[in-house]
Structure 1
Amino acid sequence: MRISTNAIIRNYKSNLAASIANLNVSRNHVMTQRSFNSVSENPASAARASQLHRKYYKNLDNLNTLSDVQSRQDGQEDALMQISNAIKTISADYNIQAMSGDKQTPETRQTFATALRQFQKTMVLSLNSTYEDTFLFAGADGKNPPFTLSEDGKALTYRGINVDAAAGSDELNELTRLSKETLYVDLGLGLSLDGADRVVPSSAFNLSLPGIKAIGYGQDANGNSNNVIVLAGKLADALEKDDFDTDAYGELMNKFKDLGSNVLNEVTNLGVKSEFLNTTKDRLENNDISLQEQMLKVEGMDPAEAITDYMWNQYAYNAALKVGTSILSPSFIDFMK
């Protein structure tokens, strides 16, 4: 069978192009340390890598969200600790024993009352604290300051409702509803909804902490406020009376101390939630490492193997160039006039 020069040259050019393509692919493997750089090179691995990348970036989003939640919760804990410390100071330094004997004068009591009014304002400022542009103790409405204290310190409102609502009133029912508000975020716990399209509590993290849940609301059977800030104002009112009643003041102080324990309980609950967040963060970080290892196995290229493959393709290409010099040597046609 006769093989023409043109056929040989066509085959040579085709094989040389394939050799160049193989060399370029192996060069890219060495430079990128990836086993493939396009879907066509390895469709099965590319599909697997796409799934792993989605999981990886979702896990990364969960880590970023968790970091924000931790910072927000740290702000809540710091604010409640400030309130708890204020309550401890009032209970220790403004108790009836501190105003007995020679100290129990109208002027001294007025000084104590003024200080209590200031503590009221300080506690309200703590409850209106923010993280970035969100109010920490506003429940599901984080865009507006939740608490407002009247100038005389006698009335406190939460989202426009007087916290000293009477038993059985619509205001009390609304405060009860607001105290149970939730605000769920997905931290990679398998967020799911129930039949009524409500978030399943165990599948998400509730970062809402309505302020009235910590400081109390409503009134007891005797008509006394269940709110620690309002009660601080009641203590100041009692001190300012001309006929100061030590027994009545003592009863108010005892109730004030009891309400203070509720604030400390919320601080403890935040500590439990912080521990949960730390555990979740460890799990997400472990997932991050695991997903990176899986992606490396699917997409990664062994450096030694990549360099060996590149050197072999380089050798094949150089050999093809040398073969070309013999194929393209002068023929009989070159000597024809």
Structure 2
Amino acid sequence: MRITMSMIMKKYATSLNSSLDELNKASDREISQRRYDTASEDPFSAAKAARLRMEYAYNNSYQSEVGDAKDQMDTVHSTIQSIVKVLSEASSGSCLGAINGTNNADDRKIYAEKIRGLQKTILTSLNTKFGDKYIFGGAETENPPFSVGANGNLLYRGIDVNTGKIEAGSTLSYNGAQITLSDSNFNGYKIQVTTADGVTPSISADATNKILTVNLPTGAKNSDVLAALKANPSLTSTDGTVTYNLSKVSLSGDQNRPVDTGVQTETATDTIGLDGLQKLADEQVFSNIGLGLRVNTGAGANESAITEQSVFNIAVPGISVIGFGTVDGSGTGMSNNIYNLMGQIADQLEGKNGYTYSIDTIQPYLDQFTQQQNKVISKMTETDCSFTFLTTTQTNLEDLGDRILEKDDNTEFIDFTDAWINYSMQAFAYNAALKIGNQILQPTFLDFMK
């Protein structure tokens, strides 16, 4: 086969262009230090880099969650620590520690006033905020969780911490909202909303079946339910046997949600009892901090659908810190709540609310104070352990994030030295190709004219 000069020049030009293309790529590599520009150039590395970037994004999300949880837990711990200091002051020799059988009325009054002042300090601490959240509100962090009821007892989210009685009266859940009916005659009632085109809002109460019916026009919202109830401050049951007082009705929650026309399963009640208080104390709010979130597919109705070991609980209900209920379970006996207990001690010192002072009568309350104080200290230690755990977790996540980023860099980028060597080799190859071309290609007419 005859090889012509034209064939040689064509082949040479193709090879030279290929060498130039490799040189340009090497130059780009040296400048950008990227291992590839498109996924098709290195599919394996591109897929690995995508996975690493996703892992890094998750890691950043976990770090953010841990950071927020750690800061919140730090606030919780320092707040409980301040409460412990107040309790230590209360138990000191200038207050509870000075109570004995020889105290006169003036001394007892001074001690009582100091105790009530310390109560106010504790109440302020219990309503501490972290950002826009009340840290001791459990699952409800938008409003101050603690207040004082008409009888002087502490209320948690409107509920007496001694008895579980709802201060506002009969209450029920409806369609993402909480309706407070107030009148205890509504205890055990369910609510049903009906809608129809052009209907005039009205309400009726079936005393036999204990159903409160609200009739509204089509397209009504929760706020319309409240308006219909408020329009009837006094309501008589359909059989005329019961008269209800709706003058204090209120609705909290989602007022703009379209009404639900099904009969509600929740019934109205004016007390949640000790079981309800226990549920409030056990409330949990989970945060995904990278522990390997797992779902319990076989969870029952009273079980969490999320495996608790795979998340972190950031909720600290205030009554889990300062206690609830009474020693004898009566609701009127010695309180397990340290705020109310301090009030009972102050009442005894002043001889109020049916108490007559004697050292024998007050001593069990002083002993109970010591026990409840120790429980608060135990809770402080628990939150400190949680803070330490979160700090360690954050450090581990930061280290893991650095390692993921390093792997991603090694996958997507090349070392500058390697890039420079590669460029130098390609430049050498290109220059060599030019030199060979000068040797094998025939001189042109213009070359002869030089």
Same fold (TM over 0.5): yes
Q: Kindly provide the CA deviation profile for residues 225-269 of structure 1, in whole angstroms up to 9, marking residues without a partner as x.
A: 110011111122222228533332222221111111111111121
Q: 1:18 to 1:142 in 2, by over 3 A?
A: farther
Does residue 197 of structure 2 align to residue 198 of structure 1? Answer: no
Q: Which one has more relative contact order, counting CA pairs under 8 Å at least 6 apart? A: 1
The Cα shift of 1:138 comes to: 0.9
In structure 2, the partner of 1:224 is 334
In structure 1, the partner of 2:389 is 276
In structure 2, the partner of 1:248 is 361
Does residue 27 of structure 2 align to residue 27 of structure 1? Answer: yes
How do 1:59-70 and structure 2 match up within 5 A? 59-70=59-70
Q: Is the 8 A contact 2:321 2:379 kept in 1?
A: yes
Query: RMSD over aligned Cα, in angstroms?
Result: 3.0
In structure 2, the partner of 1:159 is 157
The Cα shift of 1:11 comes to: 5.9
Q: 1:99 to 1:14 in 2, by over 3 A?
A: farther
Higher deviation after alignment, 281-290 or 204-213: 281-290
Distance 2:62 2:398 in 1: 10
Q: Is the 8 A contact 2:101 2:359 kept in 1?
A: no
SS of the aligned residue for 2:76 comes to: helix
The Cα shift of 1:311 comes to: 1.4
Which consecutive unaligned segments of at least 5 residues does structure 2 have? 166-270
After TM superposition, the score normalised by the length of structure 2 is 0.66
In structure 1, the partner of 2:267 is none
Q: Is the 8 A contact 1:87 1:257 kept in 2?
A: no
In structure 2, the partner of 1:287 is 400
Q: Kindly provide the CA deviation profile for residues 48-91 of structure 1, in whole angstroms up to 9, marking residues without a partner as x.
A: 11111111221122122111111111111011111111111111
Q: 1:308 to 1:258 in 2, by over 3 A?
A: same
Distance 2:23 2:400 in 1: 37
In structure 2, the partner of 1:85 is 85
Which consecutive unaligned segments of at least 5 residues does structure 1 have? none
- Which of the pair is proportionally richer in helix? 1
Q: Is the 8 A contact 2:149 2:160 kept in 1?
A: no
Q: 1:328 to 1:289 in 2, by over 3 A?
A: farther
Q: Is the 8 A contact 2:164 2:276 kept in 1?
A: no
Q: Is the 8 A contact 1:162 1:171 kept in 2?
A: no
Distance 2:273 2:85 in 1: 30
Q: 1:252 to 1:316 in 2, by over 3 A?
A: same
Does residue 343 of structure 2 align to residue 233 of structure 1? Answer: yes
The Cα shift of 1:46 comes to: 0.6
Distance 1:232 1:257 in 2: 11
SS of the aligned residue for 1:37 comes to: coil
SS of the aligned residue for 1:157 comes to: strand
In structure 2, the partner of 1:214 is 321
| Residue identity opposite 1:213 in structure 2 | S
How do 1:6-85 and structure 2 match up within 5 A? 15=15, 17-85=17-85
After TM superposition, the score normalised by the length of structure 1 is 0.86
Q: Is the 8 A contact 1:127 1:147 kept in 2?
A: yes
Distance 1:246 1:57 in 2: 64
Distance 2:280 2:164 in 1: 16
Does residue 290 of structure 2 align to residue 188 of structure 1? Answer: yes
The Cα shift of 1:32 comes to: 2.9
Q: 1:191 to 1:330 in 2, by over 3 A?
A: same
Does residue 117 of structure 2 align to residue 118 of structure 1? Answer: yes
Q: Is the 8 A contact 1:96 1:246 kept in 2?
A: no
Does residue 172 of structure 2 align to residue 173 of structure 1? Answer: no
The Cα shift of 1:159 comes to: 1.0
SS of the aligned residue for 1:109 comes to: helix
Q: Is the 8 A contact 1:166 1:219 kept in 2?
A: no
Does residue 412 of structure 2 align to residue 299 of structure 1? Answer: yes
The Cα shift of 1:45 comes to: 0.8
Q: 1:290 to 1:166 in 2, by over 3 A?
A: closer
